[in-house]
Amino acid sequence: MKKQQVLPVAARLELRPAARIGRFTESVIREQTRLARLHDAVNLAQGFPDFPCPPELKAFSSRAIEEDYNQYSITWGTPGLRAAIARKAKAYNRITVNPETEVTVTCGSTEAMICAFLGLVDPGKEIILFQPFYENYQPDSYLATAKPVHVTLRPDVKTGEWTFDEKELGRAFGPKTAAVIITSPHNPTGKVFTRAELESIAKHCQKWGAKVFSDEIYEHILYDGARHVSPASVPGLEDRTITINSASKTYGVTGWRVGWAIAPAPLTNALRKVHDFLTVCAATPLQVAVEGALAMPKSYYAVMAIKYRDRRDYLMKGLRDAGFAPFKPRGAYYIMADASAHLSKPGKSGRGPEKVPRNDVEFARKLVEDIGVAVVPGSSFYKPGKDGRTDLLRFCFCKKEETLRAAVERLGRL
């Protein structure tokens, strides 16, 4: 029997992951989903509906498969879907788009965003993130070998509205700034950026030549009179904004993975080069189905928003009754809640017989294991440090009414 060859030390040292992923951690959101399954918990962690998608979408997708839309599409998307995206962008987002040169269909908004990072950000440049931020954005920065720079959103003590400090925003920009990411409505806070805030961002982008990566996947999920403003419709941002969207949230089909990016032609060319070699194309029959979805009547979006508003209000009350201090979202389908009342007080160990959690991570683990409700610890949306928070939890309410009732009932045990 041959002896196994022992590699020299230098060769063994090379068998390691790439440095660019050295700061990666497992997705906290998706980890919580796995824990929910393990402990038979109600999953209010990951943002996917547990109810069926609209029956029209099922019919659209079935018809597309029956009609043999089963092969590769044009790399940047079927002509029909790109035309539908352009029509919708003009009618709803107030953006005039050429579907031939300015629209790229991707495998979800997740791929659209990483295509923007890889195609439009040089190594060593800086990306401005508003924190709390959606957890993918920071790893996207690392993959592009760029540096994330953070601007903190803070809830107003009187209104509960999440806002940023103008001076802090100005300090974040500089000669290395490549882009700023705007998510509106915002995940995880539910903030809806105002036109005035976008105009302020535009001023800095023009001064420093920065782009905007605008994540708008919750654009139709709005409450209390909030209005969605697309950054690309704001003067000064038209030629520098990449508008990113998908069918996932609006139509309740997070597993379909059909997204898109809208950008001026020179920027689209860069996006398409990355997309071409990253995934080739999104699923062809589902592209055809999403084309049909984009023609849904306005009433669909109005009814959807009302249903989510009712779920939001129900969960808000349940959280207050359970001792949380929730912040009322104006968009998307998440609630950030202050959990301080359930955490050990500063100066106390909290390690007595009841093992009172010291922070959001410990409390989230307690909730899923002991109470049977999975949520996301708020610190996963922050850069560690003085501006981060360890007393917040994110609750998702895009769930069936009976799911939310079960969660509220279990939280009542607290």
Among the residue ranges 165-174, 234-243, 354-363, 364-373, the one predicted with the least confidence is 354-363
Residue 367 is given by DSSP the state: I
| 26-33 mean pLDDT | 83
Both tokens of residue 80?
């029909």
Q: Please, what is the average pLDDT of the chain? A: 93
The percent of residues above 90 in pLDDT, for the chain, comes to 84
Label residue 352 by pLDDT band (50, 70, 90).
Answer: low
Residue 21 is given by DSSP the state: G
Does 8 or 89 have the greater pLDDT score?
A: 89
- pLDDT at position 29 is 82
- Residue 373, pLDDT > 80, answer yes
Tell me the three state secondary structure of residue 265: helix
Residue with the two structure tokens 């003009």: 90
State the amino acid at position 95 in one-letter form: I
Full set of structural domains in the chain with CATH: 10-53+302-411 (3.90.1150.10), 55-295 (3.40.640.10)
| 398-412 mean pLDDT | 97
Q: Would you say the C-alpha torsion 361, 148, 282, 61 has a positive or negative sign?
A: positive
Sheet holding 259-262, edge to edge: 103-106, 259-262, 241-246, 211-215, 177-183, 126-131, 147-152
Among the residue ranges 24-33, 68-77, 192-201, the one predicted with the least confidence is 24-33
- Residue 326, pLDDT > 70, answer yes
State the amino acid at position 349 in one-letter form: S
What CA–CA distance (Å, rounded) separates 87 from 93?
10
Sheet holding 325-327, edge to edge: 325-327, 334-338, 392-396, 376-377
Phi and psi based region of residue 352 (left: phi greater than 0; alpha: psi -120 to 50; beta: remaining): beta
- Residue 92, pLDDT > 80, answer yes
- pLDDT at position 9 is 61
- pLDDT at position 2 is 59
Label residue 197 by pLDDT band (50, 70, 90).
Answer: very high
| 289-317 mean pLDDT | 97
- pLDDT at position 221 is 98
Instruction: Give the tens place of pLDDT for each residue, 35-57.
Output: 889 989 999 999 889 999 999 99
- pLDDT at position 28 is 84
Instruction: Give the tens place of pLDDT for each residue, 104-152.
Output: 999 999 999 999 999 999 999 999 999 999 999 999 999 999 999 999 9
| 206-215 mean pLDDT | 98
The percent of residues above 70 in pLDDT, for the chain, comes to 94
What CA–CA distance (Å, rounded) separates 247 from 296?
12
- pLDDT at position 159 is 85
Rounded to a whole number of angstroms, the distance between the first and last alpha carbons of the chain is 63
Q: What is the pTM of this model?
A: 0.92
- In sequence order, the β-bridge partners of residue 112 are none
Label residue 165 by pLDDT band (50, 70, 90).
Answer: very high
- Residue 346, pLDDT > 70, answer no
What CA–CA distance (Å, rounded) separates 257 from 287?
9
| 360-387 mean pLDDT | 92
Residue 271: CA count within 13 A, CB half-sphere? 30
- pLDDT at position 26 is 75
By the 8 A CB rule, do 149 and 177 touch? yes
Residue with the two structure tokens 């968009």: 331
Closest-CA residue to 141 (of 259, 270, 21): 21
- pLDDT at position 10 is 58
- How many other C-beta atoms are found inside a 10 Å radius of the C-beta of residue 207? 12
User: What residues contact 224, with CB distance under 8 A and at least 6 apart?
Assistant: 309, 330
- Residue 226, pLDDT > 80, answer yes
Both tokens of residue 81?
């879907």
